[in-house]
Amino acid sequence: MENATKTFICISNFFKGNDFLINLKNQGNRVYLITSEKLRDQPWAMDHIDEIFFMPGQDIDWNLEDLLAGVGGLMKSNKIDAIVALDDYDVEKATYLRENLRIDGMGQTTGRYFRDKLAMRMRAQAAGVPVPAFSALFNDEEINYFADTVAAPWVLKPRSEASATGIIKVYSKEELWQKIHELGDTNRMKYLVEQFKPGAVYHCDGVNFNGKTLFSITSQYLATPMEISQGGGIFRSANIPYNSKDDKAIKKVNAQVLKAFGMKHGANHTEFIKCNEDGKIYFLETSSRVGGAHLAEMVEAASGVNLWAEWAKIEDALIKGKEYKIPAVSKTFAGIVLTLSKYQHPDLSGFNDAEVCFRVPLDYHAGLIVKCTKHERVRELLDNYADRLIADFATVAEQEVVKKFH
């Protein structure tokens, strides 16, 4: 019975995760997808989805009571074995459903550590993981103490937004209080303030099974998400030399974080900064999902490990009581360069070096992934391609002010 067909509900309010859905179905499971009505016409892997359900609006427009009622209705004639959140913004939805329907998996308390930046910092600090100095915005005296004892500049960060969305950089105590007052009494509780530490920003992407990290790979953002969201520019990332000092240090801290946060199974994406001033590795944030911006394809190019596919196999193994083993891992180098494009379908045929292995298929995006056995060659190509993309394709979208919070 343990290998009989199992039924999964997958939740994604963005168009992503087709590789996950395909591999989950290929394991002999029944796969339901819940997504946004606005994504009805996206090229979902329909041949690998038993049924797809649409919620009105997108993401924060979803009514969780309606979602619960819909899934409850589905359960009348279907035994639901697992619920999987495919995106950051779906974690709360999945934990809410699991808690109410008593389905195994990450609950709301643990889910907080992978969504709430304040909970992340408090948990990391308690576990002895270095974090930049921070403060909640609940208590005026604590905010004043932070501003009087921690050197500026600082960043105000929404606690439950993804990537660099909504981050505000401030340079003085007066400006900090001005921004807090502008947020208002309700919204200030949804932010934290943190010391800005200039340095190189890294991300560690991997998969866990039974509480152990079976695979991880360390990469460096060559232009950080915050720099791009606030000043424009070209997104670039590349994995760093294997077993280098930074690689070992980041993987060690990453394992600490995931253990302290209760990451048992599945994909994860964690970000760190190596501070220019003291050379220490500081934890920034983590998530229980595959990294966005086509980092999964970059990781696969470098390692041969498809994070979406392995995550699906882990979910299948868990529900069926099977063993799971990570596939053979290669150790080459890969990098991605990506920008918003002023053209809907940019012609990137001029980027024809032998190292190009993937072209980003999104409208109004220009991006490529390159791979090579030499780290220096990958970095050289990314720098060259970034200059060319800026000259011929790149455009900048104004950062939207966050008005509705998760």
| Single residue among 90, 105, 120 that ends a domain in this structure | 105
Q: Is residue 49 included in any domain, yes or no?
A: yes
Last-in-domain residue among 158, 176, 195: 195
Q: d(Cα 288, Cα 208) in Å, to the nearest integer?
A: 10
Check residue 80 and give its pLDDT.
Answer: 96
Residues 337 and 290 in one domain: yes
Q: Tell me which residue of 240, 369, 377 sits closest to 297, measured CA to CA.
A: 369
Give domain status of residue 188, yes or no. Answer: yes
CATH of the domain at 182: 3.30.1490.20
Are residues 364 and 384 both part of a single domain? yes
Q: Looking at the structure, tell me whether residues 191 and 276 fall in a common domain.
A: no
Cis peptide bond prior to 153, omega within 30° of 0: yes
Whether 211 and 286 map to the same domain: the answer is: yes
Residue 175 domain-assigned (yes or no): yes
The two tokens of residue 338 are 């990506």
Note the pLDDT of residue 231: 55
Of 141, 163, 195, which residue is a domain's last? 195
> Are residues 33 and 165 located together in one domain of the fold?
no
In a domain, residue 353? The reply is yes
Inter-residue contact 348 to 303 (CB < 8 Å): no
Where are the alpha helices (H) located in 243-304, listed in sequence order? 245-261, 295-303
Residue 302 is assigned to a structural domain of this protein:
yes
Are 139 and 208 found together in one domain?
no
Backbone angles phi, psi at 83, to 5 degrees: -125, 130
- Residues 24 and 82: beta-carbon distance below 8 Å: no
Structural domain boundaries enclosing 190: 133-195
Q: How many domains does the chain have?
A: 3
Could you tell me if 155 and 148 are in contact, meaning their C-beta atoms sit under 8 angstroms apart?
Answer: no
Instruction: Kindly state the average pLDDT of the residues 265-293.
Output: 95
Residues, the chain: 406
What residue type is assigned to position 265 of the chain?
H
pLDDT digits (tens, 9 = 90+) for 184-203: 999 999 999 999 999 999 99
- 384 and 263, same structural domain? yes
Asked if 223 and 348 sit in the same domain, the reply is yes
Are residues 39 and 179 both part of a single domain? no
Dist. CA 298–CA 373, nearest whole Å:
14
Kindly list the distances between the CA atom of residue 368 and the CA atoms of 120, 190, 211, 218, 379, in Å, as whole numbers in the listed order: 32, 36, 34, 19, 13
Residue 404 lies in a domain: no
Per-residue pLDDT tens digits for 208-249: 999 999 999 999 999 766 665 555 568 999 999 999 999 999
- Domain assignment present for residue 64? The answer is yes
- From CA 160, how far away is CA 361, in angstroms rounded? 28
Q: What is the spatial distance between Cα 121 and Cα 135, in angstroms, rounded to a whole number?
A: 9
Beta bridge partners of 371: 334
User: Given this model, what pLDDT does residue 160 score?
Assistant: 84
Over residues 142-167, the mean pLDDT reads 89
**How many CB atoms neighbour CB 169 within 10 A?**
14
Q: Residue 330: left if φ>0, alpha if ψ -120 to 50, beta else—which one?
A: beta
Residues 251 and 379 in one domain: yes
Find the angle CA(291)-CA(24)-CA(52) to the nearest 5 degrees: 90
The model's confidence at residue 1, banded by pLDDT at 50, 70 and 90, is very low
Instruction: Compare 3 and 389 and report the one with higher pLDDT.
Output: 389
The two beta strands, 154-158 and 199-209, are unpaired
Are 25 and 84 part of one and the same domain? yes
Beta-ladder partners of 34: 11, 53
> Do 51 and 139 share a structural domain?
no
What's the pTM?
0.91
In the block, tokens 């979208």 appear at 397
The domain that holds 234 is classified in CATH as 3.30.470.20
Instruction: Find the CATH number of the domain harbouring 52.
Output: 3.40.50.20
For the stretch 133-142, pLDDT in tens is 999 999 999 9
59: left (phi over 0), alpha (psi -120 to 50) or beta: left
Looking at the domain assignment, is residue 149 inside a domain?
yes
Residue with structure tokens 């294997």?
A: 242
